[in-house]
């Protein structure tokens, strides 16, 4: 027998959650599951805790379609700081090196980012939501554990240059899973 919400109806559907930074996808999923009194719930692909964005959460019978959505293409809005290197490779880490860089020209940036469009091999960073034996890599990395991560095929469909100001580069990236 399925768990019912206080009104006695089974909950089925997809919630498009605007996940905030600092929250794991699983923590967000559990909050939505409790809020809707859902017996079954699943998301269609984890966002890193530092990432914000739309996280589709399937409830009840809708969990049957979650697998079809997992392999869909993704779109990211990315901001990167030039001249700082952190121990984690992301904004959460400690700055371990500040490196001066030359002023970049818009056209040079456009040419550089367009080199990544197409089929590439990507080694996933340790600080990511990718899982190894059920554990997100970022949790292993925080414990000082580093594992081999084989390169994965990724298709970069499009990179839109959105701007560059005071050492911060903004891009929109459309890519495969």
Task: Please calculate the CA angle 154-157-158 and round it to the nearest 5 degrees.
Answer: 130
Q: Is the pTM of this model over 0.85?
A: no
- Based on the residue annotation, tell me whether 48 is a catalytic residue of this protein: yes
* In-domain check, residue 32: yes
In a domain, 90, yes or no: yes
> What would the two tokens of residue 112 be?
């550089």
Domain-ending residue, one of 70, 101, 117: 70
pLDDT of residue 1: 47
Q: Say what the pLDDT of residue 172 is.
A: 96
Q: Are residues 98 and 63 part of one domain?
A: no
| Residues 169, 128 within the same domain | yes
Cβ pair 154, 74 in contact under 8 A: no
pLDDT, tens only, 2-56: 555 565 578 999 999 999 998 989 999 999 999 999 989 999 888 888 889 999 9
Which is the catalytic residue, given 18, 20, 48, 90?
48
User: How many Cα neighbours within 13 Å face the side chain of 110?
Assistant: 7
49 shares a domain with 99: no
* 89 shares its domain with 170: yes
């Amino acid at each position: 027998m399925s768990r019912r919400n206080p009104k006695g109806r089974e909950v089925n559907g997809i919630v498009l959650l605007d996940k905030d930074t600092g929250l794991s996808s699983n923590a967000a999923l559990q909050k939505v599951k409790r809020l809707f009194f859902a017996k079954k719930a699943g998301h269609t692909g984890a966002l890193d805790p530092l990432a914000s964005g739309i996280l589709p959460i399937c409830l009840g019978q809708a969990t049957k379609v979650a697998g079809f959505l997992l392999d869909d293409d993704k779109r990211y809005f990315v901001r990167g700081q030039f001249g700082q290197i952190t121990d984690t490779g992301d904004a959460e880490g400690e700055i371990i090196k500040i490196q001066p860089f030359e002023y970049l020209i818009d056209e040079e940036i456009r040419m550089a980012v367009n080199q990544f469009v197409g089929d590439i091999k990507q080694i996933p960073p340790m600080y990511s939501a990718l899982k190894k034996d059920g554990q997100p890599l970022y949790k292993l990395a925080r414990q000082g554990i580093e594992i081999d991560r084989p390169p994965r095929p990724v298709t970069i469909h499009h990179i839109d240059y959105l701007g560059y100001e005071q050492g911060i580069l903004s891009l929109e990236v459309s890519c495969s899973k």
